Amino acid sequence: MQEPEMLTNQKYNFNIWQETFDPVFSDINTKSRVNINWLAYSKVFGSKYKTSILKPINNYALNLYPPPKLVSIENNRVRLRQGNHAEFFLLERESGIFFNLDRPWIRQYYQTKEQYDIPSDCFKKVYKFYTPWFVDENVSVSIERPDVDSPFFIYPQQFESHKTTGEEKYIEPNFVPFVFKRAGSHMLSDKFGKIKRQQAMFDIVFDCDDIMIERIKEFYEHH
């Protein structure tokens, strides 16, 4: 009989991130040896965020991924800014091959086959961030570029957010396509870059009524 550890290792593909494009979030992470308790949405409904208008998508984000920062509330339009929770390392080899890496158990970004026009000051490969926090209401959400210095160039998106029931096993997040900038304060040389934690990734923008505004304000009074 095989040892339990050997049996466990047969269940997982440790190269799945490199081999997968445009993944289903829960699928790639369960196949990457992420414990189901980290991915479970039920943990959020058992937390202090049970009645919150902003919620993390799972227990991992609940414990390790800071919520977006409040940028502004103007004429019932809310602007939040999401930052990264772990460092990125960028390296362009002399051959021109571009390597990049983050180190959290649940990776902050994934590969995509989607095609976009890439600015000349960016590395020539498109990736996707997952959205770790969401608006737990029926509301249209715009993902926009921050008006501050950022090591990321994102491609704006439009999403429909929907109120959850707490019965969901997983929350499948939306994704935000982006490229890494090859110029900026994060580049330590013309070939090597290190992106620190809590750099501006993307803005979450939505219009809402006065009741939702009060709930947003209440959320940030405690953060």
- Write down the pLDDT at residue 148: 97
**Encoded tokens for 210:** 């006065």
Query: Is the per-residue pLDDT at 70 higher than 70?
Result: yes
Structural domains counted in the chain: 1
| pTM as predicted | 0.92
Query: Is the per-residue pLDDT at 8 higher than 80?
Result: no
Arithmetic mean of pLDDT, 151-161: 98
Query: Is the per-residue pLDDT at 142 higher than 90?
Result: yes
pLDDT tens digit sequence for 11-59: 667 789 989 999 999 999 999 889 999 999 999 999 999 999 999 999 9
Query: Is the per-residue pLDDT at 85 higher than 60?
Result: yes
Determine the Cα–Cα distance for residues 109 and 77; give it in Å rounded to an integer: 28
Query: Is the per-residue pLDDT at 9 higher than 70?
Result: no
Domain boundaries, position 29:
4-221
Q: Do 131 and 173 meet the contact criterion of CB atoms below 8 Å apart?
A: yes
Query: Is the per-residue pLDDT at 207 higher than 90?
Result: yes
Arithmetic mean of pLDDT, 196-223: 96
**Encoded tokens for 89:** 């390392």
Query: Is the per-residue pLDDT at 76 higher than 70?
Result: yes
